[in-house]
Structure 1
Amino acid sequence: MTNLEVRPVPELCDLAPTRGPVVELHASRDVPLGGVRAMQVRRTLPQRGLPLVGAWCFLDEFGPQNVDMRVLPHPHTGLQTVTWPVAGEILHRDSVGSEAVVRPGQLNLMTAGHGVSHSEFSLGSAPLLHAAQLWIALPDGVAQGAAGFEQVGDLPQWSTTGVRATVFVGQLDGHASPARVHTPLLGAEVTVDAGAAAEVPLVPGFEHAVLVLDGALDVAGTAHAPSGLLYLGDGRSSVHLRSREGARLLLLGGAPFEHDLVMWWNFVGRDHADIAQARADWESPERADRFGVVHGHGDLRIPAPELPNIRLQPRRRRPPEEPG
C-alpha cells in the first residue's frame, strides 16, 4: 500500500517515553487519495501525539466503500507492509515476483528491506472494500536487507466466552502467528459478541492500542467506537473488553521501538540522507537496480513527490522526565 498524498507532511516529533497504563483517544484524520483510486482513508498513525505503537508506524483504514482500487507500482524501504482485508479481495504484485490475491482472514506481509516495489488492485468492478493497511518499522540490519513476501492463511485463534481473536502478527497468550516479523509485536482482529465481556491477556512490556472496525464497546472502562485509535500505554497484563451490541476491532501492540526513525512518503530510514537517496533512486532511470520491476504494468508507476524544503529529522524516544 502506498501513501498517495501529493505533499506528504514530515513528522517532526520525538517518540514519547512510555509511562505506564493510559487511555488516550487519538482522532483519525481523513486523507483523500485521489486519482484513479478516488478513495478516502482514515489515518491514525503516524501523528504528532502518537508516532508509533511499538514498531507499528503507519495505519490507514478504508471502507466499507464500493470502489475500484488501482494502486500502480510504487516503492518502499525500511519497513514491512501488512494488508488485512475485512471485506473484498485485493491482488498484490511485487518486484520479487509475487502475485497473490488476499481475502478476509488472510495476511499479506511484504518486507521492503533495502528496496522493493509493488502494486495493489481490487478485484471486480467497484467491489465493497474494507481493509486496514499497516507498516512495521524494521530494526537495524533487517532494514537494509533483502526484500521478501509471504501470504499466511492458517492463522491462530484465541478465544474465551463471547470473544474471539485472529492473531495475524506476533503472539497473543501463546498463540503465535507464523508470519515473520523482526521485533516483538501483536496484531490481532478481535470480535466481541453482543452482551459479552472478557479480559484479554497482554504483555506488560508492550505498548497497546485499539482501533474499532465496526460496532462499539468499552475498552478498559472507556467507550470506544470507529472514531480513532485508543492508546493504552504500556504496563498492562490484560485489557477488559465489553460490548452491548457487538464489535470488531484491531488490537495492536509491541515493544517500544528504540531506533532512530525518519518517515516520508513510502520510505522509512534512519536520517534525511536515507530518504533523499531512496527518492533519487526511485526517480532514476536505474530504479530497477534497487527497487526491481513489478511485471504487468509496463512503464506505469507512481512518481515520488518533491522532498520538502526542510531537513527531515529522526524521531528519538525521549528519556522519561526526572521527578521534580
Structure 2
Amino acid sequence: MGTVEKDSTQSYDQTALDGARSTEAPRVGILTPRDVPLGGPRAMKVRRTLPQRSRPTIGAWCFADHYGPDDVALTGGMNVPPHPHIGLQTVSWLFSGEIEHRDSLGNHTLVRPGELNLMTGGHGISHSEVSTSGTTVLHGVQLWVALPEQHRNTDPDFRHHVPEPVRVGGAEIRVFLGSLAGVTSPVPAFTPLLGAEIVLEPRATVTLAVDASFEHGLLVDTGPVRLGDTLLRPAELGYAAEGNTALTLANTSEERARTVLLGGTPFGEQFVMWWNFIGRTHEEIAQAREDWQNASARFGTVEGYNGERLPAPSLPNTVIRPRGNPRATAPRQPEESP
C-alpha cells in the first residue's frame, strides 16, 4: 500500500539534537502529518508522517501512513490494485478491520489487528490489498523499511507473525520487530530495527529500556501522549535521536492511548525513493518502472484480484537525486498539557 509523490515537501519541526544525554529526558522533535489520497484524489485518505524532506528515515523506517478509523460504508474502504515494489519491505499493522493480501509469490492471507504481515520486495514483487466485506471500521498503519545496499536485491519474501502481548506497568506491548520489554520478535530484519504497538491505560506512565544506538519515533494513534517532556497529539510522530538508554511514555488523558514505537540505527546510505520503488540511482528507478509497465517477469503476477493492475505514473522531467538524513538540529520546544 502507499505511494510516494514526486513532490515530497512537507511540514516539519526540526528533530532532536544528536546524542542526547541518556540521563535526561530525550529532546523530542515533532513531525506533523499531511493528508494524502491513496490511489487517487477520490480514494481513501491517509496521514503521512514519513518521509519528510528534513527527515527521510528513522532507522531504516522510511515511510509511515496512518489511516482511520474509517467507516468503510462511507469511504469505500481500501482497494489497492496490484502494484510493484523494489528495494524495501512493507509492514502492515491493523488496529481494526481486515485486509486481504495477495502477492506474486502466491501468498493469499488476511491482515488482522495485532498480526504482523511483512513483505520483502527485494529485486521485485507485486501485491494487492483490499479491505474485506466483513470490515466496518478500517484503522491501522502501513510502514516501509529501506533495504541496505548489501540486501536490497534479495529474493522477495513474505512473513506472518502474531506477537504475544506483554504487560509492563500500565502498558500493553506487542513487539512485531526487534526487541523491547524483554520480548524479541522472531521475524528477521536486514538492519537493526524496532517496531512495537504500545497501549497505555488512562493516566499511565511507563519507562522502557531502549538501545542507545537507536533513534526512535513514536507515532500517536490515540492520545495525547508525552514522550519525555514533549506532548504529542494524535497523528503526530515524535523523534528522539540516538543516545537514549530509556524512553518514558505518559498517557495524559482519561482514555486508553495507543502508539506505535519505531526505532533503528541511523540509516547511513543515500537512496532514491519514487512511487513504490527504492533504489540508488534515477536509472535504476526508470528501469524498474519500465519493467512494470512492460509486465516483466521481474514482478510476477498477482492471481485472484478482480480488476486491472495499477499503472506507474510518469517519471519527473528532472533526474531524481539520492538523498539521506541531514544532521539533526534543535527541536521544537515542548508544550504544556492542556
2:173 equivalent to 1:165: yes
Instruction: State the partner residue of 1:20.
Output: 19
- Against the structure 1 CA distance between its residues 11 and 274, is the aligned structure 2 distance closer, same or farther, given a 3 Å change threshold? farther
Query: Using the alignment, how far apart are the partners of 1:319 and 1:226 within structure 2?
Result: 27
What is the CA distance between 1:35 and its match in structure 2? 4.7
Match of residue 196, structure 1, among 184, 198, 204? 204
Residue 301 of structure 2 is aligned to residue 293 of structure 1: yes
CA distance change for structure 1 residues 299 and 41 in 2, over 3 Å: closer, same or farther? closer
1:20 deviates by: 2.0
* Distance in 2 (alpha carbons) for counterparts of 1:166 and 1:158: 7
Q: What amino acid is aligned across from residue 284 of structure 2 in structure 1?
A: D
Q: How many residues are matched?
A: 313
Equivalent runs, 1:40-79 vs 2, <5 Å:
40-67=45-72, 68-79=77-88
Counterpart-to-counterpart distance in 2, 1:117 and 1:202: 35
Cα 1:37–1:318 change in 2 (3 A) is: closer
Alignment deviations for residues 8-27 of structure 1 (CA, whole Å, 9 cap, x no partner): 32679xxx997123311111
Please tell me whether the aligned partners of residues 17 and 318 of structure 1 are also in contact (alpha carbons under 8 angstroms). no
How far apart in 1 are the matches of 2:45 and 2:184?
A: 33
- Secondary structure at the aligned position of 2:285 is classed as helix
* Alpha-carbon spacing, 1:97–1:307, altered in 2? closer, same or farther (3 Å): same
Query: Which ranges of structure 2 fall in alignment gaps of 5 or more residues?
Result: 21-26, 330-338
Structure 2 residue matching 1:200: 3-state secondary structure: strand
Aligned residue in 2 for 1:264: 274
- 1:233-287 CA-to-partner distances (Å, cap 9, x unmatched) read 11111111111323110011001112221100000011111111111111114x2
Select which of 3, 6, 9 maps to 1:8. Answer: 6
CA 1:176–1:302: 2 relative to 1, 3 Å = same
CA distance in 2, matches of 1:32, 1:317: 26
Code of the aligned partner of 1:272: H
> What do residues 57-107 of structure 1 show as CA deviations (whole Å, max 9, x unaligned)?
000011000222111100000000000001000000000010000111100
- The 1:299–1:217 alpha-carbon spacing in structure 2 relative to 1, beyond 3 Å, is closer
Kept in 1: contact 2:175–2:197 (CA 8 A): yes
Closer, same or farther: CA 316–33 of 1 in aligned 2, 3 Å:
closer
Q: How far 1:307 moved relative to its partner?
A: 0.6
> For 1:123-152, what per-residue CA distance to the aligned partner results, in whole angstroms no more than 9, with x for missing partners?
116621001000000112321110011111
- Report the aligned-residue RMSD: 2.2
CA drift at 1:297: 2.9
Q: Partner amino acid for 1:292? A: G
Listed one character per residue, the Cα deviations across residues 140-174 of structure 1 (whole Å, up to 9, x for unaligned) are: 23211100111111x14343211121001111144
Distance in 2 (CA, whole Å) between partners of 1:175 and 1:138 is 24
In structure 2, distance between residues paired with 1:61 and 1:319: 26
Cα distance between partner residues in 2 of 1:138 and 1:295: 26
C-alpha offsets along residues 197-223 of structure 1, whole Å, 9 cap, x if unaligned? 121111110000111111222110211
Distance 1:318 1:40 in 2: 29
Answering whether residue 248 of structure 2 is matched by residue 250 of structure 1, we say no
1:205 matched residue in structure 2: 213
Code of the residue aligned with 1:165 in structure 2: it is I
Q: Tell me if the contact between 1:113 and 1:145 (Cα under 8 Å) persists in the aligned partners.
A: yes
Distance in 2, Cα, partners of 1:235 & 1:54: 13
- Residue 167 of structure 2 aligns to a residue whose secondary structure is strand
1:225 aligned to 2:233?
Answer: yes
Q: Aligned residues: percent identity?
A: 46
Aligned to 1:132: 141
Q: Aligned to 1:95, which of 92, 97, 104?
A: 104
Secondary structure, counterpart of 1:105 in structure 2? coil
Deviations 1:176-215 (A, max 9, x none): 1111211000000001111211211111100001111112
Q: SS at 1:190's partner residue?
A: strand
Question: 2:298 is paired with a residue of what secondary structure?
Answer: helix
TM-score, length of structure 1 as denominator length: 0.90
CA distance in structure 1 between the aligned counterparts of 2:19 and 2:237, rounded to whole angstroms:
17
* Alignment partner, residue 32 of structure 1: 37
Q: Any conservation in 2 of the 1:36–1:69 contact (CA below 8 Å)?
A: no
- Take 1:111 and 1:172, find their aligned partners in 2: how far apart are those partners? 23
Structure 1 stretches lacking a partner, 5+ long: none
